[in-house]
Amino acid sequence: MSANKESWGSRVGLILAMAGNAVGLGNFLRFPVQAVQNGGGAFIIPYLVCFLVMGIPLLWIEWSMGRFGGKFGHHSTPFILDTMHKNRLWKYIGVFGIWTNIAVASYYCYIESWTLSYVLHSVLGTFNGMDQEAVAAFFNTYVSIGESTLGIPLEAIVFYVLCLLLNTWILSKGLAGGVERVAKIGMPLLILFGIFLAYKGFTITAGEAGAINDSSVGLNFLWTPDYTQLWSPTVWLAAAGQIFFTLSVGMGTIHCYASYVRSKDDIALSAMSAGWMNEFVEVVLGASILIPISIGYLGIERVSELVASGGLGLAFKTLPFLFTQWGPILGAVAGVMWFGLLFFAGITSSLAMGTPWMGFLQDEFNWGRKSAAWSFGLVVFLLGMPTVLFFHYGVFDEYDYWAGTVSLVVFALLESILFAWVFGMKKGWREIMSGSDIQVPKIYKFIIKFVTPLLLLWVFIGSLITPKGGDWGAAFSGEWILDDSSIINKLKNTSLKRQLAEATDPALITQLQDTLFFVNASRILLVVVFLSIAAMVYMAYKKRVREGRI
Amino acid sequence: MLTTMSLVTGLTIYFFYRVLNAPPRPEPDSYLDNDDEVERQAPRA
């Protein structure tokens, strides 16, 4: 008998928790950067098309699979997938739905801990009087586990552990008493903070408080469409990739949350509501803060340089400085709101990452909720410490690439094939429509069966063999040189090896050799974790056979 | 920009409004919040 007696408190709570799972740091840091790099306003066209033909179908697929598995008492993907077809191998595909979450939580909680720390630093006025270089240097010192202005030794580790303890404690309170309660507080606050900062982003005036541009300059930079980019496969790949990250599909968390919904209760409308809530936070709020405020104070040229290194740098190295331009009080309030918003976006997602592991232990090994939650905290701590200690050696990026990027596409592709072709579209459609509060357009039968898997396959192949510079025209004309960002070249460490071959400075050579070692070591570690979970699934299967449950 | 933002905001509000106004299901449903409401324990006619 399973020890899993979890339940949601209310339907609104479930939707807020699902939206909280989807809304993450990427909504504020990744989306605007992707938009700027891929055609500005024109990016929104492939982005919304991908949301309609890949994002929404995947949401329905995962909600249905989760609720279907829940009928049989399963709350994690290995045995949810196992119920959908007699082939026993599917449960090992389901290992992705636990592994991804543990690996992603390991580094994600680290970023979350930065936001927690930066909330405190904003209140204490740490950044007052610093210039932009000093704020950037503060961040670099922080992640080097260097000195702390708070006087706490190893400040980054202390905040990381605090963040993990907080996550674990909330998870130990269960779905209704922990996860849902945080979502009910965190999501409205996140939206409130976002609206305040978006208002500031929309009302910057050149010449006031050190601003050099009106907000319209930043908004035009982000939204002016470059239609020539619209036909580039690279832009479509970027749009499809962004849909993955933003909706948290291909992770196993949606399956887990939905497995606690009964079969006569709606999922079709709930999935739409949670999905569009995420889009509101991303397209409306996410696009109105980071880029417009940065360009208002730094100008297009400087921000274009900063954007090339991603959104994290802008968020932690630039915005704290810009907020101080608004004066000590408003600057502190804006800092608390910005990092508070990121914290709520982060914690509602990291809590979701804990639930598949907990569900698995509760269902298969009769663990209690508290022990399952604390075991999650411990595993994440052990797996996450390398990302904290060896941040500058690429461990963080490796976790993010393999677990937070490639794995999502692989799992989503396989689950869409399972749902539409193996489980069968007839049964699948019945699952989506069971108890539905909306009429799902019948065109989605066709989209789920053909368009979504093909699009996913294209995203996967496109990432596997990305041509140099994203030049697909040259590639198809016979000159197919792989880009360093392609999965194959990543696996071969092509970029690192080239840098190593070209380096002449002994210190740089040592640094690159160390990086190569840590990159390979982190991959081995991730593979070991995957195989360990697969072994646990095998043990659970054997246990089920012994107990006559299969 | 304004068209996209209005469209996304409008659809978000519409779907959330539909959720809030969806008729409740007879117990037992998936949620704990109405478990003590005796009048909803009986199936609807």
pLDDT surpasses 80 at A480: yes
Q: Say whether A400 sits in a helix, a strand or coil.
A: helix
Model pTM score: 0.93
Phi-psi region of A438 (alpha: psi -120 to 50; beta: other; left: phi over 0): beta
Is the confidence at residue A9, as pLDDT, over 50? Answer: yes
The encoded tokens of residue A74 equal 């399963």
Class of residue A460 by CB neighbours under 10 A (exposed 0-12, middle 13-18, buried 19+): middle
For residues A460-477, average pLDDT: 88
Give the pLDDT score at B45.
46
CA distances for A397 relative to A306, A381, A393, A485, A515, angstroms:
18, 17, 9, 12, 11
Residue of chain A with shortest Cα separation from B7: A280
Burial string for B26-40 (b: 16+ CB within 10 Å, else e) reads ebebbbbebeeeeee
Q: Is A247 exposed, middle or buried (0-12, 13-18, 19+ CB in 10 A)?
A: buried
* Model confidence at A167: pLDDT above 70: yes
List all residues 6 or more positions away from A148 whose beta carbon is below 8 Å from its beta carbon: A142, A154, A155
CA angle A414, A415, A418 (to 5 degrees): 90
**The CA-based dihedral angle spanning residues A544, A540, A69, A245, taken in that order and rounded to the nearest 10 degrees:** -170
Q: Looking at the partner chain, which of B1, B15, B30 has a beta carbon nearest the beta carbon of A276? A: B15
Q: What's the sign of the alpha-carbon dihedral A333, A195, A248, A428?
A: positive
> What is the 8-class DSSP label of residue A288?
G
User: Which residues of B are less than 8 Å from A260 in CB distance?
Assistant: 30
Q: What is the spatial distance between Cα A470 and Cα A462, in angstroms, rounded to a whole number?
A: 10
A213 close to A201: Cβ distance less than 8 angstroms? no
Chosen for mutation from A11, A12, A434 (greatest number of chain B CBs closer than 10 Å) is A11
Proportion of chain A above pLDDT 70, given as a percent? 99
| Least Cα separation, residue B33 to chain A (angstroms) | 5
For residue A284, list chain B residues with Cβ-Cβ distance below 8 A: 5, 8-9
Q: Taking the CA atoms of chain B, what radius of gyration do you get in angstroms?
A: 16
Residues of B in contact with A269 (CB under 8 A): 15, 18-19, 22
Q: Which of A392, A517, A18, A479 is nearest to B16 (CA)?
A: A18
Residue A391: pLDDT band with limits 50, 70, 90:
confident
Instruction: Count Cβ–Cβ pairs < 8 Å, chain A vs chain B.
Output: 77
Question: What is the DSSP secondary structure assignment for residue A282, as one 8-state letter?
Answer: I
Rounded to whole angstroms, how far apart are CA atoms A485 and A78? 30
* A209 Cα distance to chain centroid: 34
Closest by CA to A293, choosing from A196, A200, A208, is A200
pLDDT of residue A381: 96
Q: Which residues of A touch B1 (CB under 8 A)?
A: 41, 219, 223
Specify the residue for token string 């006559």.
Answer: A548
Q: Determine the residue type at B6.
A: S
Poorest-pLDDT segment among A254-263, A297-306, A393-402, A487-496: A297-306
Report d(CA A374, CA A356) in Å as an integer. 14
| Strand partners of residue B31 | A8
Indicate the Cα dihedral angle A396, A400, A403, A404, nearest 10°.
150
Question: pLDDT tens-digit profile of A94-121?
Answer: 999 999 999 999 999 999 999 999 999 9
**Residue A497: how many other CB atoms lie within 10 Å:** 13
**Cβ-based neighbours of A448, under 8 Å, separated by 6 or more:** A57, A60, A61, A416, A419, A420, A425, A428
The least confident of A35-49, A58-72, A238-252, A454-468 is A35-49
Which residues in chain B (2-41) have CB-CB distances under 8 A to chain A?
4-5, 8-9, 11-12, 15-16, 18-20, 22, 25, 28-33
- Record the tokens describing residue A337, joined without a space: 């709101």
Cβ separation A283–B4 shorter than 8 A = yes
Burial A30-65 (b: 16+ CB within 10 A, else e): bbbbbbbbbbbbbbbbbbbbbbebbbbbbbbbbbbb
- For residues B1-19, give the mean pLDDT: 94
ipTM of this complex prediction, to 2 decimal places: 0.90
Judged by DSSP in three states, B31 sits in strand
Q: What percent of chain A has pLDDT over 90?
A: 71
Whether B32 sits inside 8 A of A7 (CB atoms) is yes
